[in-house]
Homo-oligomer: A and B are copies of this chain.
Amino acid sequence: MRDFLPEDVRRREYVIGVIQRVYERYGFEPLETPAVENLETLMGKYGEEGNQLIFKILKRGEHEASGQADLALRYDLTVPLARVVAQHQAKLPKLFKRYQIQPVWRADRPARGRFREFYQCDVDALGSTSPVVEAEICTAVSDALVELGFRDFTIRLNHRQLLTSILNVCGIPESLHATALVAVDKLDKIGPDGVKAEMAARGISGESAVKLLEVLERFGKNEPGSRSLLLDAAGIAAFENVGAIVALTDGTSAAGHFRLDPSLARGLSYYTGAIMEISVPDLAGSLGGGGRYDNLVGMFLGQSIPACGFSLGLERILVVMGERGMFPTSLATSPADVMMAVFDAADVPHALRVAGLLRRAGLRVLVYPDAHKIGKQIKYADSLRIPFVAILGGDEIAAGTVTIKDLAAQTQTTYDQAAAGDAVFEGLRQRG
């Protein structure tokens, strides 16, 4: 887990701000949930591996000595959403669209762009089974990436029922579907031969494995006639659903970015329909992923509510943007626009008064707190890249003026105290 120093925070807030604005434009409303959930709310929702990565909190009070845990740190934003929808159902609209940008915690081994504390930027819509939901979510996420400056992202798209149908076609018994998907999910990483070996190790016949890889390839190429391979109605409906989602995004920022990837499986166990993942060429793993999960709310409510969502990973976006130099140069890199120097301890009340004037004009003003030598104060401002220093000596105080020193240009000008704010703004504008 990491500390974020000022420059890091400004970059994070910039990205969060863009994503938030785009999500709001699509009618998603903000939701926040506590960092801590009941342990039982989280257990069993993320698959076997997920269970092991949950941070558990010791029960408080007299039970502490027993080492028993009753609470846990949030592992994702989807399960808390399902709990909220079940718990506050009466207060929420039937079609509920929410976004949530908060940290989650996983006791995972860290890697590039993977941390134990990381932010997810989620959008979810609950209450409709229409593919319009998937289309709008993919478009919103695409808009956010485009607005951040990404052009080369791919939205890999698949459907859980299509996968099931393909596994059936290849003669893989249903009891082996889950383990087969774990192998299939690694196709990008370990290649067809790796997947074959892994399938063998998982008890899947060589014949089925070969056929599966061939069928996946034909679907992946979107070959005419691949649809006719499917033997069951659910698989055909899934295939058509995926096609409908792509068709609905025609003319949006997501158009042209889709790739049907029948090997995409997604680890989490709660997905029931379309699933998607967004990636860029220069990052292993994804910038985010999502899908439809029509049964998760039902696990809390006892009544199913259809739902679909997508989660953008903030840290991965930041890693790629940093490496590509995608941050706007206008992001603040100094703590202040002006540093108010202090000549003499006795003059501090005047310095604070003029600092107040500059702040009321909208400037960020740092008052140097000690009457150190003026050279030392200016050196400090320079080291922090503060562009202007305001100087208030006896002459200026007597005349109601203030001298503004431009550190880059090495010039200084004296202004009426009331006019200095506008002058500094003009100076900031000229530097861009």
Give CA–CA (A68, B133) in the complex, Å: 45
Q: Do the beta carbons of A136 and B369 come within 8 Å of each other? A: yes
Contacts of A2 in B (CB 8 A): 34
Q: How many residues of A contact B (CB 8 A)?
A: 90
Give CA–CA (A143, B136) in the complex, Å: 42
Contacts of A103 in B (CB 8 A): 35
Which residue of the partner chain B has the closest CB to A352? B248
Q: Do the beta carbons of A29 and B57 come within 8 Å of each other? A: no
Which residue of the partner chain B has the closest CB to A83? B3
Q: Do the beta carbons of A57 and B55 come within 8 Å of each other? A: yes
Which residue of the partner chain B has the closest CB to A363? B25
A188 on the B face (CB < 8 A): no
Contacts of A335 in B (CB 8 A): 27-29, 97
With A6-B31, A103-B35, A136-B352 known to touch, is A56 a contact of B55 (CB < 8 Å)?
Answer: no
A420 on the B face (CB < 8 A): no
A37 to chain B, nearest CB (A): 9
Give the contacts of A364-412 with B (CB-CB under 8 A): 364-370, 380, 383-384
Contacts of A249 in B (CB 8 A): 352
Q: Do the beta carbons of A3 and B132 come within 8 Å of each other? A: no
Give CA–CA (A67, B130) in the complex, Å: 47
A369 touches which of B87, B132, B339 (Cβ 8 Å): B132
Give CA–CA (A125, B368) in the complex, Å: 11
A135 on the B face (CB < 8 A): yes
A227 on the B face (CB < 8 A): no
A178 to chain B, nearest CB (A): 25
A374 to chain B, nearest CB (A): 15
A299 on the B face (CB < 8 A): no
Q: Do the beta carbons of B34 and A336 come within 8 Å of each other? A: no
Contacts of A94 in B (CB 8 A): 380
Contacts of A179 in B (CB 8 A): none
A95 on the B face (CB < 8 A): yes
A32 touches which of B4, B61, B69 (Cβ 8 Å): B4
Give CA–CA (A335, B95) in the complex, Å: 11
Contacts of A201 in B (CB 8 A): none
A9 touches which of B6, B30, B55, B365 (Cβ 8 Å): B30
Which residue of the partner chain B has the closest CB to A136? B367
Give the contacts of A209-233 with B (CB-CB under 8 A): none
A3 touches which of B33, B136, B367 (Cβ 8 Å): B33
Q: Do the beta carbons of A367 and B27 come within 8 Å of each other? A: yes
Contacts of A24 in B (CB 8 A): 364
A336 touches which of B27, B84, B87, B251 (Cβ 8 Å): B27
A36 on the B face (CB < 8 A): yes
Contacts of A10 in B (CB 8 A): 30
A64 on the B face (CB < 8 A): yes
Q: Do the beta carbons of A349 and B247 come within 8 Å of each other? A: yes
A202 on the B face (CB < 8 A): no
A368 touches which of B31, B95, B349 (Cβ 8 Å): B95
Contacts of A143 in B (CB 8 A): 359
A136 to chain B, nearest CB (A): 6
A66 on the B face (CB < 8 A): yes
For the complex with contacts A93-B384, A250-B349, A252-B352, 20 further pairs of A-B residues with Cβ separation under 8 Å are A1-B34, A3-B33, A4-B33, A5-B91, A9-B31, A24-B364, A25-B364, A27-B366, A27-B367, A35-B117, A36-B73, A56-B64, A58-B69, A65-B67, A67-B68, A132-B342, A133-B369, A143-B359, A247-B349, A251-B353
Query: Which A residues lie at the B interface, using CB under 8 A?
Result: 1-6, 8-10, 12-13, 24-36, 55-58, 60-61, 64-69, 71, 73, 84, 87-88, 91-95, 97-98, 103, 105, 107, 116-117, 125, 128, 130, 132-133, 135-136, 139, 143, 247-252, 335-336, 339, 342, 348-349, 352-353, 356, 359, 362-370, 380, 383-384
A-B contact list, 14 entries, CB within 8 Å: A9-B31, A27-B336, A27-B339, A36-B55, A36-B116, A55-B57, A56-B58, A57-B57, A67-B67, A93-B384, A95-B369, A248-B349, A248-B352, A251-B356
